[in-house]
Amino acid sequence: MKTNITATWQSALGLLALRLFAAYEFWESGMQKWSGENWFAEINDQFPFPFYLLPDSMNWNLAMWAELVFPVLLLLGLATRLSALGLIIVTAVAWAAVHAGAGYNVCDNGYKMALIYIVVLIPILLQGAGCLSLDALLKKRFCPKCRVGNQ
C-alpha cells in the first residue's frame, strides 16, 4: 500500500511539473498575441483544414484565447485533458503552418519547440492532472465510486 501511495504522489508531482511548464509557455504565447498584431494573414493559407477556411482574425483569436484559457485550466488542474487536447491542436496547427518547412532547429524557427510542447502535453492528456488538481478534488467530492483505485 505504501508503495502505491508513493507512486501516486510521484506521478502527481511529475504531472504538476508538466502542467506548470506548459501553462507558463502557452500563457506567454497568448499574452504576446494579446498585445501584438495579427500576423496570421501572411500564413492563413498554410493552416491545415479546417482552419485555412476561417478568416485570419478568427484564427488569431482562437489561438490567443486557447493560449490564455487552457493554461489557466492546466494550472488549476481543471478540465485538464480537454485543455491538453486543445493546446495540442493549437501546437499542431502552428507546427504545420509555421515550423514544418523550417526544419528541426529552433534558431531557424523549426519545429523543435512544437515537438517538445506536444511531448509535454501527451502525458497530461493520457493521465489527467493527477491528485494535485481540482479535477481530482471534484472527482473525490462528486464521484464516490471513483475513490477506490486511481484518484
pLDDT single digits (tens) 105-133: 988 888 999 999 999 999 999 999 999 99
3-state class of 149 per DSSP? coil
Given pLDDT bands bounded at 50, 70 and 90, which one contains residue 7?
confident
Q: What is the pTM of this model?
A: 0.89
Q: Which amino acid is at 32?
A: Q
3-state class of 47 per DSSP? coil
- Write down the pLDDT at residue 146: 72
**Do 89 and 63 meet the contact criterion of CB atoms below 8 Å apart?**
no
Cα separation values, 100 from 58, 85, 123, Å: 22, 20, 23
Given pLDDT bands bounded at 50, 70 and 90, which one contains residue 150?
very low
Averaged over 73-97, what is the pLDDT?
97
For residues 96 and 94, give the distance between their C-alpha atoms in angstroms, rounded to a whole number. Answer: 5
- Write down the pLDDT at residue 83: 99
pLDDT single digits (tens) 8-64: 889 999 999 999 999 999 999 999 999 999 999 999 999 999 999 999 999 999 999
